[in-house]
Amino acid sequence: MKRIAVVPGSFDPVTLGHLDVVGRAAGLFDELHVLVVHNPGKTALLPIAQRVSLIEQSIAEAQLPGTIVVTSWSVGLLVDYCTDVGASVLVKGIRSQVDVAYETPMAIVNRDLAGVETIFMLPNPAHAHVSSSLVRQVASLGGDVSPYVPSAVYRYLQK
Ligand code: PNS
């Protein structure tokens, strides 16, 4: 049976920290789905389709190994997507204890809802301070975000 995992998130925009986790996770599963999900708790910068496109370009340019599907989900629960595609695992990057506190309730609820397990992965510490919200703020105030994002995102934000 194919081992399929999902890396869900807002990816608004995708950062080097996300890409690092996606690359590591891709090596562990037969198929990895990077799933862009609208988070109603956050004010969006990029349209969902643009986020998907930037993730696809970033994965291609980084030449990440493995089978990686990039798509979005806007109807219902995240675990409904997992059930639809036959994924039994969610992968989340953990930068700090703050992330553990944020992710733990979601992981337990997702397991309660559909038996989907969550695996926490530690990114390269070089990216531990990088977040999409920080990138959005620095970019909107005219700062240089090139150390934090893949080149495709940097080029897009320059426009
Ligand atoms: O990158 P983010 O914004 O931290 O990602 C959070 C996200 C989108 C993964 C989370 O909000 C989510 O899982 N949303 C889907 C709705 C859902 O299934 N909620 C119930 C279980 S947590």
Q: Among 78, 98, 136, which residue has the most ligand 1 atoms within 8 Å of its CB, making it the best to mutate?
A: 78
Report residues whose beta carbon is within 6 angstroms of any ligand 1 atom: 8-10, 37, 39, 42, 77-78, 106, 109-110
Domain 4-158 sits in CATH at 3.40.50.620
Tokens, residue 124: 């390269």
Cα 62 to ligand 1 centroid, rounded to whole Å: 26
> For 25-50, what is the mean pLDDT?
95
pTM higher than the cut 0.85: yes
**Cα atoms in the 13 Å half-sphere on the side-chain side of 12:** 21
pLDDT band at 159 (very low <50, low <70, confident <90, very high): confident
140 annotated to a ligand binding site: no
Q: Is the pLDDT at 27 greater than 90, yes or no?
A: yes
pLDDT tens digits, residue range 99-147?
A: 999 999 999 999 999 999 999 999 999 999 999 999 999 999 999 999 9
Give me ligand 1 centre to Cα 38, in Å.
Answer: 8
The H-assigned helical ranges of 9-150 are 16-26, 48-62, 78-85, 97-114, 132-140
pLDDT attached to residue 5 = 98
Which residue's CA is the closest to the ligand 1 atom numbered 7?
Answer: 9
**Nearest to residue 92, comparing CAs of 127, 121, 129, 132?**
121
Please state, in angstroms and as integers, the Cα–Cα distance from residue 85 to each residue in 20, 63, 114, 152, following that order.
Answer: 23, 24, 13, 28
Residue nearest to atom 13 of ligand 1 (CA): 78
Q: 32 alpha carbon to ligand 1 midpoint, in Å?
A: 17
Is 38 annotated in a binding site? The answer is: no
